[in-house]
Amino acid sequence: VRGGRDDDQATTSIRVVRGDITAVHADAIINAANSSLLGGGGVDGAIHRAGGPAVLDACKTLRATTLPDGLAVGAAVATTAGNLPAQWIIHTVGPRHSTTEDRTDLLRSAYTRSLTLADSLGARTVAFPLISAGAYGWPRHDAVNVAVDAVTTATTDVDVVTLVAYDDETATLIRRALTR
Ligand code: ADP
């Protein structure tokens, strides 16, 4: 699947893998964090467990310096990846799903701002979980559509975006959305 810029040869390949994001090799692994940056469940818990204490230390330093109020929804920040097979973790905060307010732009922004940060770091391969589709309650189908739309239309120098599906059904949904 091709996306990204349509000038020169800057195309981005998008691939899908099923499994645990902490096992994926990429320059940057995206964390579906919360604003506190101090850990949580789901992807966040798995990344902190696998990354080790250096990741939490880096997050605490961010909170003590540039991000005293935490990371805004839709924003992204990078830390060391600790023991993970990656150079960086890019922490982003997806919006909680709401039935009264359309927060699609914030979810898109979690993807696009992560890619912009990846560009500024020089990361050429990045892996995303399905942001906001767990504890933050987005219907999986909607979360997949926003993710695929965001990464296929983004302007980025990233060569390979891996979308990590935690289960087979999610992998199938992502593959289907990519072929539309
Ligand atoms: P959020 O709080 O943004 O909703 P979650 O981490 O709760 O984030 O869940 C996001 C998605 O990631 C869900 O689809 C969940 O099934 C999936 N997920 C949970 N753990 C992992 C993991 N270790 N690797 C990849 N995906 C995971």
Q: What is the pLDDT of residues 96-127, one digit of tens each?
A: 999 999 999 999 999 999 999 999 999 999 99
102 flagged as catalytic: no
Closest Cα to atom 5, ligand 1: which residue?
134
Residue 111 Cβ contacting ligand 1 at under 6 Å? no
pLDDT at 2 over 90: no
Mean pLDDT (whole number) for 71-78:
98
Distance from the first to the final alpha carbon of the chain: 10
Is the distance from CB of 47 to CB of 31 less than 8 angstroms?
yes
CA distances from 167 to 61, 91, 93, 144 (A): 34, 22, 22, 13
| Residue ranges in the chain assigned as alpha helix (H) | 42-51, 53-64, 104-121, 140-153, 168-179
pTM of the model: 0.95
Taking all residues of the chain, what is their mean pLDDT, rounded to a whole number?
Answer: 95
* Burial class (CB within 10 angstroms; exposed 0-12, middle 13-18, buried 19+) of 174: buried
Are 148 and 131 spatial neighbours (Cβ–Cβ below 8 Å)? no
For range 8-26, the mean pLDDT: 91
Arithmetic mean of pLDDT, 148-167: 98
Ligand 1 centre from 73 Cα, in Å? 16
Of 6-15, 28-37, 43-52, 118-127, which gets the smallest average pLDDT?
A: 6-15
Mean pLDDT along residues 141-160? 98
Tell how far the Cα of 80 is from the centroid of ligand 1, in angstroms: 20
Banded model confidence at residue 6, pLDDT cuts 50, 70, 90: very low
